[in-house]
Amino acid sequence: MKLKTTTKLCALSFSVLIALGACTDDSNKSDDSKSNEVSQVENTANISEGALASEEKAETSSEEIDKQDYSRFDIYAPFTLTSDLSHLSDNQREMIALLIDAGKIMDNLFWKQAFGDKEALLSSIDNPKAKTFAEINYGPWDRLDNNKPFISGYDAKNKGAEYYPDDMTVTEFENWDQAGKKGLYSLVQRDDKGNLTLVPYSVAYKEELTQASDLLRKASELAEDEGFKNYLKLRADALITDNYQPSDFAWMDMKSNPVEVVIGPIETYEDQLFGYRAAFSTYVLIKDLEWSERLSRFAAFLPELQKGLPVDQKYKQEMPGTDSDLNAYDVVFYAGDSNAGSKTIAINLPNDEKVQLAKGTRRLQLKNAMRAKFDKILVPISEQLIAEEQREHITFDAFFANTMFHEVAHGLGIKNTINDKGTVRSSLKETASALEEGKADILGLYMIGKLYEKGEIKEGELMDNYVTFLAGIFRSVRFGASSAHGKANMVRFNFFKDHGAFERNEKTGHYSVNFDKMTQAMNKLSEKILVIQGNGDYEASKHLLNTQGIISDQLAADLELLEEKQIPVDVTFKQGKSVLGLN
Ligand SMILES: [Zn+2]
């Protein structure tokens, strides 16, 4: 559920937001990801309404208000997506070009899944801004405003996108006796007799998927890393057989490849009707070797930092693992689902639970995409809301470190309750994710502080991380407070304010961090969260979210100012072979 306007934000307390549905805590489902767009309250809605609406298109279009000046056409700031390719061989560069070509096919397939006929839509739009906005949204609906239509003549988007027949009802689907009907890799269509029938992606999109498969196979011949070569071959097979599991296993075995690709049907958020069917997507990635090396070095400090946590001994008895599969990348191509609407800055895959159980997951942090959000959004926000004399502490290094250490810090703390209530996750129920995200945010900052003390981080200063952290809360909360990350953000914002970690100057409307009080507040909130988790105290967790999780009128007004100043909400990428010099 996306809550964009501040009037909506202040009207909702966390108890309401929690009731709307539990959220996930995976890094790829953060504030910058797609999960927020899934309107969980409406999952059971009947799409036949959407079908009715589209039949009435011809009549309604002439009466529609003119949407030529839709105020949101400028919410995405353009950013050129590049990376240093100088360390790559000619073969690797050629391989990247092939992967981008395969990605373009995924892009067209996602258009089919999300809307239908891309060319028909785009050629019908005269206003260039509206056309660009349609390209960004992969259809005539505003993804960051609950899929509100912005082109005359279009009504509500089908919850089931183009995965199901327009006239299919939920009841009809539920009564349908068909094996595999909840599958990830098939469409539901009607046969000649009007009965529902399953059509595998490999059949429905045979031509496109065969081309993409050929491209991946060609790319595999150029791959120098054996693990990557194997993955590409298996992925090429998967596209034409719908059997993705072997390639997901192979993906988990890759460790040393400098080029990376995530390609195929991946996430299921586009299917807002049931969340069953996967959307075509691509990320082409270049590994940031230096940062990846630093991250594994920092992960080695986890056991030592665990011992120093500001909480009673019994809450820090578990020994954190040190071999987290966490790496930094530059993305050089987003396509399809990953490129629609808001842009992800972290990936956590695969989703296949069998693979996860056997091998875990890999976490990929997307550095240049974070840079885009920093330059285009965080800095302009700071210029409105952070005290002038503290703005020098808004740095990209701090922004990146805060995000990275959030991920590492999931490894700190406690996974099992200390009183035989089982896992923290199960005992805290629907509040578990918000607490876990809150923990990771704050212990990430704690880790950074400790690594400064130890001289492990040399550039910048802790104050950069603090001030950038505060500005980051303003950025995130604009995505709404309904996700686990959003809830965690608001709890921390209010807790910090109550403890004097920052204050707001009434005259200027600017916020400034108080370094010492921020450190104290961090320690106190860390302790509070770790104790609730360790005790598996569901009531206390609910209480914390309900009492601290409200967006105050003051904050709502400050966020309103960001809208007035037209600070971009997200970014859109200029990308492809030409910007990389690969033509
Ligand atoms: Zn997290």
Which pLDDT does position 411 carry in this prediction?
Answer: 84
User: What is the β-pairing status of strands 362-366 and 511-513?
Assistant: unpaired
104 lies in a domain?
no
Distance 455 CA to ligand 1 centre (A): 26
3-state secondary structure of 504: strand
DSSP 336-395: EGGGSSSPPSEEEE---HHHHHHH--EEEEEHHHHHHHIIIIIHHHHHHHB-GGGGGG--
Tens of pLDDT along 418-443?
A: 999 999 999 999 899 889 989 999 99
Tell me the pLDDT band of 69, cut-offs 50, 70 and 90. Answer: low
Cα-to-centroid distance, 172 and ligand 1 (Å): 38
State yes or no: pLDDT of 28 exceeds 60: no
Q: What is the pLDDT of residues 4-22, one digit of tens each?
A: 333 333 323 323 232 322 2
What spacing in Å lies between the alpha carbon of 251 and ligand 1's midpoint? 22
- Interval between CA 523 and ligand 1 midpoint (Å): 19
**283 phi and psi angles, rounded to 5 deg:** -130, 125
Tell me the pLDDT tens digit for each residue of 233-286: 999 999 999 999 999 999 999 988 999 999 999 999 899 999 999 999 999 999
Ligand 1 center to residue 363 CA distance, Å? 11
- Specify if 305 maps to a domain: yes
User: Above 60 in pLDDT, residue 56?
Assistant: no
Taking the centre of ligand 1 as the mean of its atom positions, its distance from the CA of residue 240, in whole angstroms, is 34
- Centre of ligand 1 to C-alpha 500, Å, is 25
* Full domain range(s) for residue 487: 1-43+77-88+207-583
Among 24, 12, 31, 51, smallest CA distance to 476 is for 31
Whether 24 shows a pLDDT value over 90: the answer reads no
Query: Under a CB-based contact definition with an 8 Å cutoff, are residues 56 and 550 in contact?
Result: no
What is the rounded distance in angstroms from the CA atom of residue 98 to the CA atom of residue 91?
Answer: 11
In angstroms, what is the span from residue 27 Cα to ligand 1's centroid?
A: 5
CATH at residue 411: 3.30.540.30
Listed range (54-63, 120-129, 149-158, 513-522) with the worst mean pLDDT: 54-63
Say if residue 66's pLDDT is above 60.
no
Cα of 383 vs centre of ligand 1, distance in Å, is 27
Q: How far is the CA of 30 from the centre of ligand 1 (A)?
A: 7
Q: How confident is the model over 296-307, as pLDDT tens digits?
A: 888 888 889 999
Torsion of CA 505, 508, 510, 516, to 10 degrees: -30
Residues 482-502: what's their mean pLDDT?
87
Q: Is 455 among the domain residues?
A: yes
What are all long-range contacts of 97-101, with beta carbons under 8 Å and residues at least 24 apart? Answer: 97/577, 97/582, 98/215, 98/216, 98/218, 98/219, 98/222, 99/215, 99/216, 99/219, 99/259, 99/261, 99/263, 99/282, 99/284, 99/333, 100/284, 100/332, 100/333, 100/576, 100/577, 100/582, 101/215
* DSSP letters spanning 351-363: --HHHHHHH--EE
**Phi and psi (nearest 5°) for 20?**
-75, -15
Q: What is the pLDDT of residue 64?
A: 43
- Report how far ligand 1's centroid is from the alpha carbon of 89 (Å): 35
Output the CA 468–ligand 1 centroid distance in Å: 18
Contacts of 284 (CB under 8 A, 6+ apart): 96, 99, 100, 103, 259, 260, 261, 331, 332, 333
- Strand 570-574 to 76-80 pairing: parallel
Band (pLDDT 50/70/90 cuts) for residue 45 is: very low
Query: Considering the entire predicted model, what is its pTM?
Result: 0.83
Distance 425 CA to ligand 1 centre (A): 14
Query: Residues 33, 281: contact at Cβ < 8 Å?
Result: no
**Of the candidates 402, 364, 358, which has an alpha carbon nearest to the alpha carbon of residue 250?**
358
**Rounded distance, CA 474 to CA 571, Å?**
16
More confident position, 221 or 71: 221
* Residue 44 confidence class, pLDDT cut points 50, 70, 90: very low
432 C-alpha to center of ligand 1: Å?
12
Cα–Cα distance between 121 and 134 in angstroms, integer?
Answer: 8
Give the single-character DSSP code of 425.
H
CA of 364 to the centre of ligand 1 (A): 12
Domain count, the chain: 1
Question: Above 90 in pLDDT, residue 331?
Answer: yes
Q: Which residues contact 214 (CB under 8 A, 6 or more apart)?
A: 236
The answer to whether residue 499 sits within a structural domain is: yes
CA of 319 to the centre of ligand 1 (A): 19
500 in any annotated domain: yes
The whole-angstrom separation of Cα 283 and Cα 364 is: 11
Say what the pLDDT of residue 18 is.
29
Say how many Å lie between the CA of residue 404 and the centre of ligand 1.
Answer: 10
Rounded to the nearest angstrom, the distance between the alpha carbon of 230 and the centre of ligand 1 is: 30
Task: Compute the distance from residue 436 Cα to the ligand 1 centre, in Å.
Answer: 7
* Distance of CA 291 from the midpoint of ligand 1 (Å): 19
What percent of the chain lies above the pLDDT cut of 70? 87
* Predicted pLDDT of residue 32: 54
- Kindly give the distance from the C-alpha atom of residue 249 to the centroid of ligand 1, in angstroms, as a whole number: 23
Asked if residue 477 is part of any domain, the answer here is: yes
pLDDT tier, 482 (very low <50, low <70, confident <90, very high otherwise) = low
Cα dist. 312→212, 302, 308, 538 in Å?
55, 17, 10, 19
Distance 461 CA to ligand 1 centre (A): 24
> 28 C-alpha vs ligand 1 centroid, how far in Å?
8
Q: What's the whole-number average pLDDT of the chain?
A: 86
Give the least confident one: 23-27, 73-77, 445-449, 547-551. Answer: 23-27
Residue-wise pLDDT for 178-225, tens only, equals: 999 999 999 999 999 999 999 999 999 999 999 999 999 999 999 999
Q: How far is the CA of 185 from the centre of ligand 1 (A)?
A: 28
Q: What is the dihedral sign for C-alpha 304, 306, 308, 314?
A: negative
pLDDT at 578 over 70: yes
Ligand 1 centroid from CA 292, angstroms: 18
Q: How far is the CA of 463 from the centre of ligand 1 (A)?
A: 22
Question: How many A from CA of 325 to the centre of ligand 1?
Answer: 14
Give the pLDDT score at 20: 29
Rounded distance from Cα 345 to ligand 1 centre (Å): 12
Task: Decide: 320 and 408 in contact? Cβ < 8 Å.
Answer: no
- Residue 431 CA to ligand 1 center (angstroms) comes to 14
The answer to whether position 2 is within a domain reads: yes
Q: What is the pLDDT of residue 323?
A: 61
Ligand 1 centroid to residue 440 C-alpha, Å: 6
Cα 441 to middle of ligand 1, angstroms: 7
Ligand 1 centroid to residue 34 C-alpha, Å: 15
How far is Cα 517 from Cα 499, in angstroms, rounded to an integer? 7
Distance from residue 484's CA to the centre of ligand 1 (Å): 9
Ligand 1 centroid from CA 405, angstroms: 10
Give whole-number Cα distances, 268 to 343, 412, 500, in Å: 16, 30, 42
- Domain membership of residue 178 (yes or no) is no
Residue 110, pLDDT above cutoff 90: yes
Alpha helices in 115-161 (DSSP H): 118-123, 128-137
Within 13 A of 418's CA, how many CA atoms are on the CB side?
15
